[in-house]
Structure 1
Amino acid sequence: MTSTAAARPVVDEFKDAFRGHPAGVAIITATGPSGPVGLTASSVASVSAEPPILAFSLASTEGSAGVISNADTIVVHLLGAENSELAAVFAARGSKRFGPDMEWSTLAGGEPLLGGVPRALVCRILSRIEAGSSTLLAAAVLEIHAGPAAAPLVYHDRTYHRLSGESAL
C-alpha cells in the first residue's frame, strides 16, 4: 500500500521532534571588540563532571553568536523560571541587552555576568567543531557563581515553561 501524501522532508521532521523535546534555557555572554554580547540558548548540555565540561551549539557565525564563537572565555547563565523575560530579551534580534536598567556586571576577565540567575558558569572554550550548519563548542567550567534558587526554566514547543514539584511524575 502506498501513500498519496507526500513525505515530509527529514529536516521538518527533525525540527518537529525537537519542538516536542523540552530543554533547559541558558543565556551565553561574552565580550567582543564592541562590548558585551549575549544570546539565549537551549542547547547547553553537561559533557563531563571531572573535569567539568559543557557543550552548546551556535547556528550562526554572525552577530552575538560570532563573537561568542570566537571568544576565549564565556559565561553560561542557567536560568530559572523568574528569568523568562530575560530569556526573551536575549532571544530577540536587535534588543537592548546590556542597558542601564539591566542587572549585570563585568568579571575580572571582562566577561559580562548577569544578575538574578540561579547559576552562572564562567568557562574557557576548549574546542569548536563545525557540525552541519552549526558550530558545536565545548567549554571547561572554571568557576560557578550561585544566585537565587529558582524553579528551572525550560523551552518546549516554542514556549517557556516552569518546572515545579507538581510537574514531577
Structure 2
Amino acid sequence: MSLLPAALTVVTTVDVLGRRWGFTASSVTSVSLDPPLLLVGVNRTSSCHDAFVSAQEFVVNVLGEQHRAVAAKFAAHGVDRFAGEDFADWPGTNLPHLPDAHAAYRCLRHEVMAAGDHQLLLGALTGVLAERPGRPLLWYRRTFHTPR
C-alpha cells in the first residue's frame, strides 16, 4: 500500500470527559456527495480507537506542506500529541481543529463498520472551514511529499 499516494490528515475529537484525541490518517476519502459523507479508517490497536468509535463528532484536518512535524507527532505513540500545537476549538464546540489546515471537515458519526484490523468511521459532513492556500501534504513510499 506504500505505493498508493494519499493525502495526510489529522483526525481529532473529544471524549465524554472533554479530553482531546487525535491521530494521523492517510485512509480518508469522500464517499458520497448527496448526502456528503467522509470515511476514516481507525486501527483497532490505536490508543485513539475507543474514543473515536464512541465519539458523536470528529474533525478531519487536511494537512498542508507546513504540517510535517504535526503529522509525525500525531502518528507517534506515548506522547501528548496536542502539547505545543496550535489547535483551536471549532466555532461553537470544543472539537479541536488546526486553524491553518489546508481544509477542515466537521463530521457527525453516521456509522462505524468493521474492516479487517480497522474500524471505518463514516461521517456526515456538518461543516467545512475554507481551504487555506498552499500545497497539501501527501504520504507516499513511507515518507512525506508535496506536489509541485
Shared fold (TM-score, shorter chain, > 0.5): yes
In the alignment, residue 24 of structure 1 is paired with which amino acid?
A
Which shows bigger deviation, 34-43 or 53-62?
Answer: 53-62
Select 2:35's aligned residue among 51, 59, 62.
Answer: 51
> Contact 1:124–1:142 (CA<8 Å) still a contact in 2?
yes
In the alignment, residue 40 of structure 1 is paired with which amino acid?
T
Identity of aligned residues (%): 30
> Contact 1:104–1:113 (CA<8 Å) still a contact in 2?
yes
In the alignment, residue 54 of structure 1 is paired with which amino acid?
L
* CA RMSD after TM alignment: 1.5
| Partner residue, 1:67 | 51
Runs of 4+ in 1 over 4 A off after TM superposition: none
| Partner residue, 1:129 | 113
How far did residue 94 of structure 1 move? 1.8
How far did residue 148 of structure 1 move? 2.6
| Partner residue, 1:41 | 25
Distance, in Å, in 1 between the alignment partners of 2:141 and 2:39 is 22
List per-residue Cα deviations over 1:14-64 (Å, max 9, x = no partner): xxxx11111110010000126101000000001112221110111125522
Q: Aligned pair 1:29/2:29, yes or no?
A: no
List per-residue Cα deviations over 1:82-135 (Å, max 9, x = no partner): 111111111111222222x31111232321112211111010010011112211
> Which runs of no fewer than 5 residues in structure 1 stay unpaired?
1-17, 165-169
> Contact 1:155–1:161 (CA<8 Å) still a contact in 2?
yes
| Partner residue, 1:155 | 139
The TM-score normalised by the length of structure 2 is: 0.91
The alignment partner of 1:63 has SS state of coil
| Bigger fraction of residues in helix | 1
List per-residue Cα deviations over 1:126-145 (Å, max 9, x = no partner): 00111122111110110101
Higher CA-based Rg: 1
Q: Aligned pair 1:112/2:96, yes or no?
A: yes
In the alignment, residue 110 of structure 1 is paired with which amino acid?
N
- Which of the pair has the greater relative contact order for Cα pairs under 8 Å at 6+ separation? 2
Aligned length: 146
How far did residue 147 of structure 1 move? 5.0
